[in-house]
Structure formats: C-alpha cells, structure tokens
Amino acid sequence: MSVLSDERPIGFIDSGVGGLTVVKEAMRQLPNEKIIYLGDTARCPYGPRPAEQVIEFTWQMTRFLLNENIKMLVIACNTATAVALEEIKKSVDIPVIGVIQPGSRAALKASKNGHVGIIGTLGTIKSDSYRLEIQEKAPETQVISLACPKFVPIVESNQFASSVAKKVVSYTLATLKNKKIDTLVLGCTHYPLLRPIIHHVMGPDVTLIDSGAETVSDVSALLDYFDLNNLNRTIIKQHQFFTTGSPKMFKDIASDWLNIDSLDVTHIELGGK
C-alpha cells in the first residue's frame, strides 16, 4: 500500500556470531532487505563482562553501524539487550529492537503449565531481564533461570556439533530436568546453533524458544508500522558482515549456518579490549 521504499540496510549487532541466528531468520522472512552485521568477536564473550563495559561496547558497535546509514538497529545479543537497549533506543533516531521482549512474549504464548526456563549468559541471567519481563505480564509464571557460560565459547570456536558440545550441554542442563518447565527460552542468540543438542537433552515435551527468530517478527511489524520496507528489488543488494576478530573463522561459521558460499566479511577495529 505504501509508495515509499527505504533501501537503507537493517543493522544487526552481536558479541560474535550468535546474531547470525537472527540474520538467518531475517533473510527468510525479509528477502528484500539488505543486512549489515557487526560481530564483536575479538571481545566475545560479553556474558562475564561488567554491565558498564557491555554498554560501552554496544555503543561502539551502534555508532559504527549508524555511520553505515542503517534504518533500524537490531541488538541481536541478549547480554547487550539486557543492559543497553533502553539507553540506546532513547538516544538514537531510528527504531531499535532487542531480543528479550519478543522472546519473553513467545515463551508466554508457548507455555501451557506456566513453568518457563531461561538459559543465557552470566550477564543476561544476572540482569534477570527475562524473569522481570515475563512476570511483568504474567506474575504467576514460575521462571527458572540458568547461566550457561560455557556455551558461547563452544559456538564461537566452531565446535557446536562436537562431542564436547554434547557433554557440556548435557552436564549444564541436568539441573533443569525434572523442574516441570514445558518451555525453555534460548536466551542467547548463540544457542540456536546448539539447538539439536539442547532439544535432545531436554526432550520432546519442552518447547524451545529461539528469541532471535521471534525478534524478526517484531522487525517486520516495525518495518510496516514505520513504513521502512525496501520495495525496490531491482537493485541487487549484497549483505555485509563485519567482525572485530578473524574474518576466516567468522566466515567458516557464517557460511555454514547461513548456507551462503560467498560472504562479504571484513575485519574492523572497534576499540580496546
């Protein structure tokens, strides 16, 4: 219905490769949109870092993408969303979306027995954002949170299908078994790469919520609401990926996960460690 077309890219930021799970869903649901991605691999994981530092790093990534003239910013990282979303959303003049609200909403929709598990990084679990968000809307919901600090390093080192991964996931999640939860939020965008193993460990009766994939529905709703869709498909757009770490390692994981051979990956420097 609109006659306007906004051809600027949508920006995605993450501490590393985790946000690619959001990008994959965005490519599927929004095939007209150009994506520009920045993973701060050199300083990953964000999970154990103090909140002030995560906020600072998130601002650095945000400013980099604002310079690339993005029309919307997706903070495709739960740790960064938990501590930096509200501040950045208030301060920049494009729509900014995090992954925690969409993930929380999906968990509330999915759970039938009102017992929801959350797994995430140390930072995300410490922020208690998912529990607050969920209980804000449904105070009677029982929320069990568990930090899984070993998961991100496994994914970033491209070992997410290894036998080590199986052992670590099984050992870490043991405490969530027999806890009555019927829904488990993958509260870190890296975790969907471990989804088959997590599914195997938790069993078929636990619904896994991919907070990143849920986020793309919100991206789509806001593109419509703010009239920001790209309607011009005659200009072929090449997605762009930036990493503060090794482009080779990033490309290996990204090509595999996104199922694209020729990815445009560039190394950049953001700041100190």
> Annotated binding residues for substrate, as ranges?
14-15, 46-47, 78-79, 189-190
Q: Which is nearer to a second copy, 29 or 69 (CB)?
A: 29
Distance CA(263)–CA(253), nearest Å, equals 11
Triad 246, 247, 252: Cα angle to 5°: 105
Q: Write out the catalytic residue numbers.
A: 77, 188
Triad 175, 54, 156: Cα angle to 5°: 60
How many residues does the structure list for the chain?
273
Q: Which is nearer to a second copy, 129 or 145 (CB)?
A: 129
Q: Which is nearer to a second copy, 68 or 224 (CB)?
A: 224
Q: How far is the CB of 133 from a second copy (least distance, A)?
A: 6
Taking a C-beta distance cutoff of 8 angstroms, is the pair 80, 54 a contact? yes
Distance CA(246)–CA(236), nearest Å, equals 27
Q: Is 21 exposed, middle or buried (0-12, 13-18, 19+ CB in 10 A)?
A: buried
Taking a C-beta distance cutoff of 8 angstroms, is the pair 207, 110 a contact? yes
Q: How far is the CB of 159 from a second copy (least distance, A)?
A: 33
Helix (H) or strand (E) holding 38: strand 35-39
Tokens found for residue 242: 């930036």
Q: Which is nearer to a second copy, 172 or 229 (CB)?
A: 229
Q: How far is the CB of 155 from a second copy (least distance, A)?
A: 26
94's CB contacts (< 8 A; 6+ apart) are 66, 70, 71, 72, 73
Q: Which is nearer to a second copy, 116 or 169 (CB)?
A: 116
Which residues of this chain interact with a second copy, rule CB under 8 A?
1-2, 29, 31-32, 85-86, 95, 97, 100-102, 105, 109, 129, 132-133, 136-139, 217-218, 220-222, 224-225, 229, 231, 233
Q: How far is the CB of 182 from a second copy (least distance, A)?
A: 18
Distance CA(37)–CA(19), nearest Å, equals 8
Tokens found for residue 98: 């995090």
Residue 149 is which amino acid?
P
